[in-house]
Amino acid sequence: MKVVLIGYMGSGKSSVGKLVANLLNLPFKDLDDEIQKAVGMPISEIFSKKGEIYFRKVENETLKNILALDEQYVLATGGGTPCYGDSLSAMLNTQGVSIVYLKTPLSILTDRLISENKLRPLVAHLKTRDEMMEFVGIHLFERSHFYNQAESVIETGENSPQEVAQKVVASLF
């Protein structure tokens, strides 16, 4: 079993992914961590020194390398991963992959991202809650077509990461 979590940044893919991996007794992989290892620099530095196009290229290659592994795992992707290149089709066409979309309300994403925007290159320039909400709202609209192709959609709402992880596991069986 290969479980791939998709969703907007701040939806809890990494936090929930670790818990899902623990519940299923599988290794956890974080695509951003794997990209940082491959390139040898933090994501923010990749964006600032090499640009988003370079990042997306490496992201796509790294994703395909992970999907090709002959092992089971839980993978947390980046928020934009399924929306660029052929990453989504690679996920959809890999045998044994279950794609789960962590669907989080705009207001919750906005609150989470405004408090940690310095850590996230795509939103570091946004200073107010209104700017963040508008930016995220537009992105969610643009990306929903990709996200909704997941075989399971988990509404995260106000649930704790533990509750969301249990919903994810239940959706797999």
**What are the extents of the domains in the chain?**
2-172
Specify the fold of 2-172: Rossmann fold (3.40.50)
* Mean predicted confidence (pLDDT) in 148-166: 97
Tell whether 11 is in a known binding site. Answer: yes
pLDDT band at 138 (very low <50, low <70, confident <90, very high): very high
Tell whether 167 is in a known binding site. Answer: no
pLDDT of residue 121: 62
pLDDT of residue 44: 86
Tell whether 112 is in a known binding site. Answer: no
The 10s digit of each residue's pLDDT in 9-62 is 899 999 999 999 999 999 999 999 999 999 999 988 998 899 989 999 999 999
Buried b or exposed e, range 137-156, using 16+ CB within 10 angstroms: eebbeebeebbebbebbbeb
Tell whether 89 is in a known binding site. Answer: no
Query: Residue 93 forms beta bridges with which residues?
Result: none
pLDDT of residue 103: 98
pLDDT of residue 118: 56
Tell whether 98 is in a known binding site. Answer: no
Amino acid at residue number 158: E
Tell whether 115 is in a known binding site. Answer: no
CA distance 163 to 173: 16
Tell whether 14 is in a known binding site. Answer: yes
Amino acid at residue number 19: L
Tell whether 15 is in a known binding site. Answer: yes
Tell whether 33 is in a known binding site. Answer: no
Tell whether 32 is in a known binding site. Answer: yes
Tell me, yes or no, if the pTM score tops 0.85.
yes
Tell whether 129 is in a known binding site. Answer: no
The 10s digit of each residue's pLDDT in 73-120 is 999 999 999 999 999 999 999 999 999 999 999 999 998 887 765 566
pLDDT at 134 over 60: yes
Residue corresponding to tokens 């907007």: 8
